[in-house]
């Protein structure tokens, strides 16, 4: 992330983990990691505007379909993308299979659009996680691991900040937290899980948010 000025508008694009009831929330933030980030930055003083554009159940193709109105048209100063679990969960449930090729094509398209339309806006990419609370959750890894590899590779190729939630989960488990304490169903974080996600995002984005202190 090369920008040295403080972003005034932060946009979070994703699925239910980002959504967290934001459409029923008068503040539009939901009750997950996005709210925690907004509260932390707001507590520093004149914090940036935070826009939550997560929609429960969405896959990378859904983000592509709404990328103009929910991202580019809003001209955010920093964009966070958190997607991937639904692309694999649907497959393990016997529904649509999102191939790695189509996943990479759609994710790369979003990054290319940001580079072309918002070249001065840093991007934060979130590595999706699954906590192995049961066999159903463990099965998601069979498809998700390849997509996680694509996200890591694209972040390195484009030079974007990466929030490695697989590592965040691993560190939490190593500290004694149980998988269900991080995400009760393996996918949707608990309040403690959201706190760890927010802290990891704040650490990754500190170079461009520090001026908001």
User: What confidence tens digit (pLDDT) does each residue in 1-59 have?
Assistant: 444 456 689 999 999 999 999 999 999 999 999 999 999 998 877 679 999 999 999 99
Question: Whole-number mean pLDDT of the chain?
Answer: 92
- As a dihedral over the C-alpha atoms of residue 38, residue 40, residue 42, residue 45, rounded to 10 degrees, the angle is -160
- pLDDT at site 6: 61
- pLDDT at site 46: 64
Q: Could you report the per-residue pLDDT of 122-135, keeping only the tens digit for each?
A: 999 999 999 999 99
Opening angle at CA 17, ends 16 and 23, nearest 5: 50
Instruction: Work out the average pLDDT over 98-122.
Output: 97
Report whether pLDDT(213) > 60: no
Spans of all domains in the chain: 9-212
Out of 2.60.40.10, 3.40.50.2300, 3.30.750.210, 3.40.50.1110, the CATH code matching 9-212 is: 3.40.50.1110
C-alpha to C-alpha distance for 183 and 138, rounded to whole angstroms: 13
């Amino acid at each position: 992330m090369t920008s040295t000025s403080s972003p005034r508008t932060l946009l979070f694009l994703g699925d239910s983990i980002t959504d967290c009831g934001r459409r029923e929330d008068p503040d539009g933030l939901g009750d997950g990691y996005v709210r925690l980030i907004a509260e932390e930055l707001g507590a520093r003083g004149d914090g940036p505007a935070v826009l939550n554009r997560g929609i429960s159940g969405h896959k990378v193709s859904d983000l592509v379909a709404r990328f103009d109105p929910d991202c580019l048209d809003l001209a955010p100063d920093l964009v966070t993308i958190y997607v991937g679990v639904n692309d694999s969960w649907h497959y393990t449930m016997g529904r649509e299979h999102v191939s790695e090729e189509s996943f990479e094509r759609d994710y790369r398209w979003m990054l290319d659009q940001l580079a072309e339309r918002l070249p001065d806006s840093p991007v934060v990419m979130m590595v999706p996680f699954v906590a192995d609370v049961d066999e159903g959750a463990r099965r998601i890894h069979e498809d998700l691991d390849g997509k996680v590899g694509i996200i890591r590779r694209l972040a390195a190729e484009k030079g974007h900040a990466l929030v490695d939630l697989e590592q965040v989960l691993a560190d939490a488990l190593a500290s004694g937290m149980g998988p269900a304490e991080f995400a009760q169903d393996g996918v949707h974080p608990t309040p403690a899980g959201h706190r760890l996600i927010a802290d990891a995002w704040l650490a990754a984005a500190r170079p461009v948010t520090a001026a908001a202190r």
